[in-house]
Every structure is written in C-alpha cells, then in structure tokens.
Structure 1
Amino acid sequence: MNNNTHKNDFYGKLVKLILPMTLQNFMFALIPVSDAMMLVTLDQDQMSAVSLASQAMFVLNIFLYALVSGMSMFAAQYYGKKDLKSIEKILGYTLRLTLPVVFIFFAMGLFCPLGIMLIFTDEPAIVEYGIGYLRLVAFAYILDGLAQILAAILKNVELVAESTVISVFMVVSNIGLNAVFIFGLFGCPAMGARGAALATSISAGIGFIGALLVMNTKSKVRIRFKDIFKVNLDLRKDFSKYSGPLLANNLFWGLGFTMISVIIGHLGADAVAANSIAAVVKDLVSCFCFALAAGGSIVVGNELGAGNLARARDYGGRLCKLSVISGIILGAITAALTPVIVHFVNLTPTAKHYLTWMLLMCLYYILGRSINSVVISGIFAAGGDTKFGMICDTVTMWGFIVPFGALLAFVIKIPVIWVCFFLYLDEMVKIPVVYKHYKKYLWVKNLVDKEVPAES
C-alpha cells in the first residue's frame, strides 16, 4: 500500500470518528449550561447547590475516565487484530471494576448527601437544595457509569455513529426533561433543583438502555457474565500496569484543576463570574480537540494492534500536525468571537474586562490544550505510554502552576489579569517536554502480542 493510500485511509477513518465524537462532546457540554440557565431564573441558591453537588459526579468521572481509557487502549488494539473474544474479556473486567465504584457513589449520594454538601459549603439554603438533588441524581451514577463503558466499546468497534445518536437523544431528553421538571410543565410539579436531578437520572437510563440495545443488535461483542466474575490474573496485571497511571494522573490533575478554581475564587466575585463564562467557552471550543484525541487514539491503536507499527508512527505524526492546526484555528475563532460573547453576557463592567482578557488568552491556551490532548491522551495512550502523562501533569500542576499561582495571587498580589495569565499557562509549559518524549517513540508498542515485527 503506497503512501497516498495510507494517507487517504488515515483521514477517512479519522473523519468518520471525530465528526460524530465532536457532536457528542458538544451536546454533553450543553447539559451544565442548560441547568444553570434554567435554575438561575428561579433561585441563585438552587443554581449554586446543583453546581456544588455536581462535584460528586466530577470525582466519579475521574475514576470512570481512567477505566474507560484503559479499556479503550486494549479494545482498539484487539479490534485491530479482529480479536472480539478478547474485547469481551476486557469489557467484562472493566465492568467488574466499575460496578463497585458506581455503587459506592450511589450509596453516598442516597444516604450521605449532607456530608457531601458540607464539604463544599455551610450555607443552609444551598445545603438543603443540594441534599434533595443528590438523593435523586444518585441513580444516574450507576446508569451513566455503565453507559460510558458500553459507549466506549461501541466507538472501538466502528459503531461511533450509533453511539453518537444515543448521546444526542440522551442530551436532548435531559434538556427537555429539565424544563418539564424544573418549571413544572404539562401538569408536573415544579421541582427546581430536584427536577434537574430527576432529568439527569432518566436521561442516564435512556443512554444505558440505548447502548445496551445497540450492542446486542449491531455489535458482535456481548457482555459475558463469566468475564465479569472470572478473575484473569494476566489481564488484571496488564490493565493495572497501564490504567493505574491514568487514574493517578486524573486524580492529581483533577485536584490541581480544583485548586486553580479555588485561587480564582478568592480573587473576587468579578473574577469568579468571568472565569465561569470563560470556562464554558473553553469547554465548548475544546470539543473538537477531545474528539481528535479520542478518534486518533482509536486509529493509532488499531494499527498498533494489527502489528503495523511503522504505519502507526506515521499516523501519530499526522495527528500531531492536525493538533497544531486545529489549536491555532480554534484559538483564533475564540479570540475573534470575544467582543460578541462579552456583549451578550450580563456581567459588571469589571467582570467584562476580565472576561475579555480571559478569552483572548485562549489564543495560547486552546493551542496548548489541543496539542497535549491529542499527543498525551490520544497518541501516547494508544500505545500504553501512560506514566509520562501522570508525571507531566503532576509536576506541571503541583510543582509549578498551583504553588506559584497562589504565591502571585495571595503573597505578591499582582493584578487579577496577570494571575489568570499565569494560571492559563498550564498547557503551554508542557509542550517542550511532551514533544521531546513523543520523539522517543516509546508509544509505538503492541500491547496485545508478545512479539510483533515492525513494518519496513
């Protein structure tokens, strides 16, 4: 197969993956936006309660992301060699690990909501609303956790379009049910924050049932209960080796990201309001970057699993170039839209000033996020090179950004804009070392065969 054929094959596979994944990511990013927009019309305390209570789901997703990424790492390579039985085994083992985690979070939300809320606030009204929210949204922890596992398998076996349809229907249902239950439409009682929780749980159930139906009707991969309960020592060893660093990475990154929010949270109400809007914009714009990383990981993983190591290396190079191009374009679009965004948000003049600069900072922030997402979470993860990401994020967050950010904000007390400029550097400072590690090609590794000859 000549180089042009390889090139066309690469872009063909990638486009089929990233277009539906981008839509999927964008739709999911709309859920917290709809929650906030609807609840703030009722009561600011209810909006704050849901925002704080949702941190429990954020923590759960840290665990789920590590499990899903570890499973996808193997599933992509097994699918590359057309080994569906091994995909079923890795699916069963991942469910074995997922079930205890989601049930623990379910029990905490249902039986210990007061303790969870008191971690974040001692405001009586917010705590009360949060308790009601957690008791209903707890059911979503189980359903959404299982749905994420099944959806990841569907993407890895070339059913990404079906997975996206399920996700879109799930999100549309969530937003529609939000309106019904929050405001009490069509004869339903107005439930406020509890209505948002009920809508989330129902839509999570829709996502789980939809993924299960697609898997049983369109996929040759099945859930085997024997694979869930049977202990496979070799599989457990390999999964722990590559997924353990992912979990540690997510935990350290998640805590670091939370600390950045804490630092900005102590810079005044205007800084908090501006950063809240900027964070939503960054997440929406980054949907394509995350899809490129996830889709690229599957494409590279397929080639590694099939033993096409030289082709996988070539695909990795193409992905790197795409990450730079997409980062530049998306950052420029965000900067260009800054006047429009600032005009339509209802903020104080000071907050609008902060927001303007925060959005302009996306010129470099989005570029860094695009490159690091694709290279670390996409290319490196495809070949099981997960320890580097853990070390890189931990050192960047806890050795540089968080301590020096706190020093600049609370000891030296430089202006707010300059504090944010520094905090937004967390992605850019990693690029030189990430590129150096990429060039070592330690990620060009077949995880599912003991010995695989490289392509000439």
Structure 2
Amino acid sequence: MLDKSVNKFTLWVLAWPIFIELFLQFLLGAVDTLMVSRISDDAVAVVGFSNQLFQAMTTLFMTVASGAGILIAQKIGSHKRGEARTIGIMALSVTTIIGLVCSVILFAMPEAIASILQLPDRLLPLAGTYISIVGGGMVLIAMMATMSTVIRNTGNTRAPMYVAIGMNIIHVIMNYGFIFGAFGFPQWGLTGVAISTVVSRLLAVFLLLYIFLRSFEYRIKWKEFRVFNRPLFGEILKIGWPLGINMSCWVFTQLIIYSFIATLGAAELAARTYMNTLESFCFLLGSSIAMAAQIQIAHLFGAGKIKDAYRSAYRALGIGAIYVIVNAFLLFVFGKQLLGLFTEDKTIIAIGASLLGMNLILQPGKMLNMALGNSLNAIGDTRFTMYISLGSMWLVATVLSYVLGVHMGWGLIGIYSCMIADEYLRGVLSFFRWRGQKYLRKAEQHEPSVSHQITPMEVMPTQA
C-alpha cells in the first residue's frame, strides 16, 4: 500500500503555496509601508523599527514552533503520525503562553523599550502608540506562526496561503479606510494602521485554528491541549533550542544594527526600511524554495531516504540561486524608480539607490546560506547552524558594522558590507558541513531500521 502523502512532499508542490503566502506577507508589509508613507516618513521609520522589535520577540516562541515543525515532517516520514499530532498540540499550547507574556510586556512599556533601543526622541510618541497596539497582539503572531508551521509541515502548504490571502485583503481595506477616512472609517493614521494589523491577524487566527484542529487523522479536541508528553517535548527542544538561538542571533543583531542606523539619522532609518521592503520581494521565491526544501528533506530523512535528502539540498540551491540573481538584477535596474513610489524625499531615495548594487551581491549569499542552513536544520544538525550564527552574526554583522558604519563613518555602505560578509561566511561554512554529510552518514548506518518495508498496518494512523 503506497503512502499517498508522499506526493505532498515534492519541492514544487510544497514551494508554490509558500511563495504565494510569503508574497502576500510581503504585500502586507509593502502596502503598510506605502500607505504609512502617506502619513509621514517618520511613521515609516517607526513601523520599520517596530517590526524589528517584534521579530526579536518572535524568537521566544519560534524556538518551539520551528523545532516542532521539523519533527512533525520527520515523524510523518517515518509513519509516526500519532506522535506528530501530539507534537503539534503541545507546540501551540506552549507558544500561546509565551505569546501572552510578550503581549503584556509590549503593551505595558512601549516607549521605554523604544527609548532603550535608541529610537530618536521625536519618534517615541508614535512608537509608543504603534508598539502598544500591535505588540499587545503578539499572542496572535505566536498562534499564527505556530499553526502555520505545523500545518505546512504536514504537507498542507495551501491552507496557510489561503488564510494569508484573506488576511491581506482585509488588512489593505482597513488600512485604506483608517489612513484616508474612507468607507466610513475614522481617519486615525498610524493608530488605525495598528488596529487594522491586529484585527486582520485575529481573523486569521480563527481560520488557522479551524484548519489546525483538522490537520491530522483525528480531529484535535479542546481537552487535548492539557496533554504534555515530556519525552516528545524533549525532542522538540533538542532540535528547537539551537534554532531559537540561531533566530535570536539574527533578529537581535538586526535590531542592534537598526539602532546603529537610527544614530545615523531618521533619513537613513527610513531608507533602510524602504530597502528592506524591496529586498524582501527580491528574495521571496528563493526563501520559499529554501523553506519547502527543509520540509521535503525532513520528510525524506525521517523516511530513511538519505541520498534523496542529500541531493534535494543542491537542487533547491540551484533553482533558488537562478531566481534570486534575476530578481536582484531587476531591482538593481528599476530600484530607484521603485523607491520613488514610497517617498518623494530625494535624500532618502539617494541613500536607498546607493545600496542597490550591494544588494546584487548580497542576494546570492543569502540563498546559499538559507538553502544549506535549512537543509542542515531539517536533519537535526541545528547546533552547527547555531554555532556559526553566534560567531558570524555577532562579530561580522554587528561588531564590524559598528566599526565600519558608525565609528569609521562609512554609514549604510559599511553596514551593508558587513551584512554581505556575514551571509557568505555562514553560507560557505554550511556548504562544507552539508558536503561532509556527518549527520546523513550517521543516519545511513541505521537505515535498515528506519527505511524497512512498510506494511499496510504501519501506514494506518495511530490514535494519539
């Protein structure tokens, strides 16, 4: 009896819904930035700064969500569906609690946090409003991220995509209403944008929860959220805690780098925010391929198909590299005109345009790093990616950014140079680690016990 779920784990089937979901997330950010730019460039700087803060907070619950996602794909690959179901339930319970704690902190002291992170004083009132409302809904981000991760790793990458479509439509309509006073909405500016963000996320949580409860062979019941399987949670943390530190390194170093940029001036901060939007679009397809490859490789690894897992990483890297290079070149050619859609400030446009050539160098390095880093994570080699992140992100991307960008006065050019060096260093180290096949060889030694002939009874789901 063949396992019909195998067809769900091909690279293209996994990747295209993830791409559309990421594109819509990008669209959400781009529309936010474009609409908020109609309020002021200061408002744009506050949104960009706040989003870095929110990303830093997400690492607290993504430690659990990411580890659970990888394990779910591995368990499904090895036909341990009952364990996969239990892992999904525990992940949502734990991350919701963490999200609630984050919500309370951000709602209670928004301006104090922004001040500590060196946001210019004149931006603090705007930041206080935006961070308290959107940050107060951090629990919604925790629930969305966890449920989307679990659902995707069961092989169903379409459902989060459909939810993203609905969320984006609602968010754009509400944004327009609040900013321009349309559709009978009050003209509340940045406060309205924050409310629009929270409301659209709340609706998305309800939809994802409905799908999540039905993502496994047996519908999840409310009373099961009290279940806590200590050995399985230990497996989540074994994979998840290095991932959490890895993600923490990225978001906290980015937050610190943003604080460096904030000391350069509001124009530089706004330019970086606009460029971040354009760069995100440039890397969308590459990112979706890398995420799909992680799910596919984890499934193949769990099924004992070691050689297929090894080859899948290079295939994803090759395909992704072509797309990101083409996109980076298009951005290099048309980037100045695109920046003009966001702002009329010639200083901000000039600063952003000066970074377009560097982005052309940056993007292939990001693809190398993400494709092979995700592949290592998929097979459980998360400590290695953690170690190289600790070294490279802090020393190269952060410390060197301060030295070149602030101390030596090179500004954003110096900071971008360090970002490029960091991506390529981690990418090259991940390449040699993957090529060495340490974890894959170890698994291959036990292959007879992992990839034995599957009987019809083993294909049937087991009650959790």
**Which TM bucket (shorter chain)?**
0.7 to 0.9
Distance 2:49 2:23 in 1: 22
Q: State the match for 1:5 in structure 2.
A: none
* Structure 1 runs not aligned, ≥5 long: 1-8
Aligned residue for 2:457? none
**Structure 1 partner of 2:369:** 372
Is 1:220 matched up with 2:214?
A: no
CA distance in 2 between partners of 1:186 and 1:340 (Å): 31
Distance 1:66 1:85, change over 3 A: same
Deviation at 1:450, TM superposition (A): 9.9
Within 5 Å, which residues of 2 pair with 1:52-451? Answer: 52-120=49-117, 126-138=123-135, 140-216=137-213, 219-220=216-217, 222-225=219-222, 227-268=224-265, 270-341=267-338, 344=341, 346=343, 351-376=348-373, 378-414=374-410, 417-418=413-414, 420-444=416-440
Q: Deviations over 1:114-133 (max 9, x none)?
A: 43343346767643344333
Alpha-carbon deviation of 1:435?
1.3
- Aligned Cα RMSD in Å? 3.0
CA distance in 1, matches of 2:194, 2:343: 26
TM-score (norm 1): 0.87
CA displacement at 1:163 relative to structure 2: 1.8
State whether residues 273 and 347 of structure 1, in contact with CA within 8 Å, keep that contact through their aligned partners in structure 2.
Answer: no
Give the whole-Å Cα distance in 2 for the aligned partners of 1:320 and 1:434.
Answer: 12
Change (3 A) 1:124 1:184: farther
Q: Is the 8 A contact 2:393 2:422 kept in 1?
A: yes
Preserved contact between residue 246 and residue 389 of structure 2 (Cα < 8 Å): yes
Q: Please say if residues 249 and 393 of structure 1, whose CA atoms lie closer than 8 Å, have aligned partners that are also in contact.
A: yes
In structure 1, what residue type is equivalent to 2:358? M
| Counterpart contact for 2:85–2:216, Cα < 8 Å | no
- Residue in 2 that maps onto 1:4: none
Q: Is the 8 A contact 1:47 1:193 kept in 2?
A: no
CA drift at 1:253: 1.9
Letter paired with 1:70: G
How far apart are residue 207 of structure 1 and its match?
1.0
CA distance in 2, matches of 1:273, 1:394: 28
Return the alpha-carbon distance in structure 1 between the equivalents of residues 192 and 362 of structure 2: 36
Q: CA deviation at 1:142?
A: 1.9
Find runs of 4+ consecutive structure 1 residues off by over 6 angstroms. 9-12, 122-125
CA contact (8 A) 1:381 1:443 kept: no
Decide which moves more: 51-60 or 70-79: 51-60
| CA-CA distance at 1:76 after TM superposition | 0.7
Q: Aligned with 1:426: secondary structure?
A: helix
Any unmatched runs of 5+ in structure 2? 1-5, 453-464
Measured after TM superposition, the shift of residue 336 of structure 1 is 3.1
The percentage of counterpart residues that share the same residue type is 19
Distance 2:117 2:418 in 1: 26
> Which region of structure 1 is more displaced relative to structure 2, 283-292 or 52-61?
52-61
Counterpart Cα distance in 2 of 1:296 and 1:121: 38
Partner secondary structure for residue 124 of structure 2? helix
Give the drift of 1:286: 1.2
Q: Summarize the Cα distance change of 1:299–1:131 in structure 2 as closer, same or farther, 3 Å threshold.
A: same
Is the contact made by 2:87 and 2:233 (CA closer than 8 Å) also made in structure 1? no
User: In the alignment, which residue of structure 2 is the partner of 1:6?
Assistant: none
Opposite residue 394 of structure 1, the aligned amino acid is L
In the alignment of these two chains, the number of paired residues is 445
Contact preservation (8 Å) 1:78, 1:87 = yes
